[in-house]
Amino acid sequence: EWRKNQHAKMAYGRPGRVDEVTGMVAFLASDRASYISGAMLTIDGGLVARGGGSLGTLIPLEEDEKEKV
């Protein structure tokens, strides 16, 4: 029930997939991001922008999802 309510608040109606986040992670770990310092990049599919959550709100993974990470 809680998970369903959280998904309803998300712009895409679902949590993000690992492949939707890895590009930003790879960029931030690269030399191309060497001048970025102290920035907060929210990758949440619009959850915070829509008022559906706050920074730091995490949705726990199911056991079968943990194996994919």
Residue bearing the bigger pLDDT, 53 or 19: 19
The pLDDT tens digits of the residues spanning 23-64 come to 989 999 999 999 998 888 888 877 777 776 655 555 666 777
State the burial class of residue 48 (Cβ atoms within 10 Å of its Cβ: 0-12, 13-18, 19+).
middle
CA-CA distance, 52 to 48, in Å (whole number)?
6
Burial annotation 17-26 (CB, 10 A radius, 16+ → b, else e): eeeeeeeeee
The stretch 7-24 carries a mean pLDDT of 86
Number of alpha carbons in the 13 Å side-chain half-sphere of residue 11: 10
CB distance 21 to 43 below 8 Å: yes
